[in-house]
Structure formats: structure tokens, C-alpha cells
């Protein structure tokens, strides 16, 4: 079962190593399972996940640990698994030699990951929207969920069209910032 990542890291944590070890312990098995879905090799799956965590540790100064890391870790594991499958195909050492079977496994694994990413994205969007001011949230939801035009929203809430535009622009800017910090924008570009 995959749990959401608690905030392990603070900007000035004395014992970064202990927090990183906890992150590793909490997510090592689900990430190995994800890699195994693609490569069907336990040792290779473990190597992939260890490489991902090693890269994260080496780049820890560049990483914003305030954002959810699990989606990024899953994407990194998927990319490393795909790299391994490509190198096996190129070297001709794909176990079983059935390229079609490997392709189907990869497609199924990708579908599972996309569903996971969409649920994480939905949670991230809901969290961001809940952090908006009451008026901004109301305007944004009327615009996006009911499909009302800016003029209709302005009439319904008794505010100007410019105010509606300002609230929608502010909400979108907050969403863009939050999603870019959490790594979701990179997934969809």
C-alpha cells in the first residue's frame, strides 16, 4: 500500500541522513514493486530503486523536500526501468526474448502509473484550491466546474468582470506554482 509522503525534511534539519533513511524505508518496497512490474527481475528492480535514491541523495541540495516526492520517485524509477529494457533489447539479452511480452508489460505498468499520477494530481489540485481565499475559490470553481462565463460569474456574485478575471488568474497562478513545485507540470509537458 502506498502512503503519502509525510514531510521528512525541513529547510534546516540537523539529521538529514536519518530523515533520508526513513524516506528510503517507507518507499523502497513500493518503488521496487513498480520497477519489477516493468523489468520482471528482482535484482534489477532493487538496483534501479537504489540508483534513484542515490541520485536523490547526491542532488539533495537541489531538491525541494517540501513538495511530494513520491510522484517524482515513481517517474524516475519508470524511466530507469525503461532505460534498462532498452539496453537489454539493444544488447539482445531480454529474458525470454519475447519483445511483444515486454511491450505489453510496459504498457500495463504505464497505465497503472498514469492512474496513480492522476489521483495524486487530483489531490494536489484539491489541496491548492482549498488554500485559496474564499472569494477566489468560489470564482474559480464557478468558472471551472459549472462552466459559467466570466460575465455570468460577475452577475451571480455581484462583482465586476475584472475582479472575476483577477481571481481566476490568481488561482491559475497558484495552481501553476504548486504543480511545478510538486513536479506534476513536468509529467504533462
Q: How confident is the model at residue 89 (pLDDT cuts 50, 70, 90)?
A: low
By CB atoms closer than 10 A (0-12, 13-18, 19+), residue 143 is: buried
d(C-alpha 74, C-alpha 48), whole Å = 11
Tens of pLDDT, residue by residue over 12-62, are 445 677 777 888 888 888 898 888 888 888 899 999 999 999 988 888 877
Query: Where is pLDDT greater, at 56 or 87?
Result: 56
Band of residue 187 on the pLDDT scale cut at 50, 70, 90: very low
- Sign for the CA dihedral angle at 133, 141, 152, 156 comes to negative
Q: How does DSSP assign 46-69, residue by residue?
A: HHHHHHHHHHHHHTTTT--TTS--
DSSP label at 65? T
| Residue 119 binned pLDDT confidence (cut-offs 50, 70, 90) | confident
Q: What is the pLDDT of residues 55-82, one digit of tens each?
A: 888 888 777 766 677 888 888 898 898 8
Share above pLDDT 70 across residues of the chain, in percent, rounded to a whole number: 70
pLDDT averaged over every residue in the chain: 78
Amino acid at each position: 500500500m502506498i502512503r503519502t509522503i509525510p514531510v521528512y525534511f525541513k529547510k534546516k534539519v540537523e539529521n538529514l541522513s536519518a530523515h533520508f533513511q526513513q524516506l528510503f524505508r517507507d518507499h523502497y518496497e513500493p518503488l521496487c514493486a513498480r520497477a519489477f512490474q516493468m523489468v520482471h527481475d528482482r535484482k534489477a528492480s532493487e538496483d534501479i530503486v537504489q540508483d534513484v535514491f542515490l541520485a536523490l541523495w547526491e542532488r539533495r541540495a537541489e531538491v525541494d523536500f517540501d513538495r511530494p516526492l513520491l510522484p517524482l520517485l515513481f517517474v524516475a524509477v519508470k524511466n530507469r526501468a525503461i532505460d534498462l529494457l532498452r539496453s537489454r533489447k539493444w544488447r539482445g539479452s531480454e529474458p525470454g526474448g519475447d519483445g511483444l511480452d515486454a511491450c505489453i508489460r510496459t504498457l500495463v505498468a504505464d497505465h497503472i502509473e498514469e492512474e496513480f499520477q492522476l489521483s495524486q494530481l487530483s489531490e494536489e489540485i484539491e489541496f491548492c484550491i482549498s488554500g485559496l481565499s474564499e472569494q477566489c475559490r468560489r470564482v474559480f470553481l464557478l468558472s471551472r466546474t459549472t462552466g459559467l462565463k466570466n460575465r455570468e460569474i460577475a452577475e451571480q456574485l455581484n462583482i465586476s468582470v475584472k475582479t472575476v478575471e483577477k481571481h481566476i488568474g490568481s488561482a491559475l497562478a497558484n495552481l501553476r506554482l504548486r504543480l511545478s513545485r510538486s513536479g506534476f507540470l513536468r509529467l504533462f509537458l
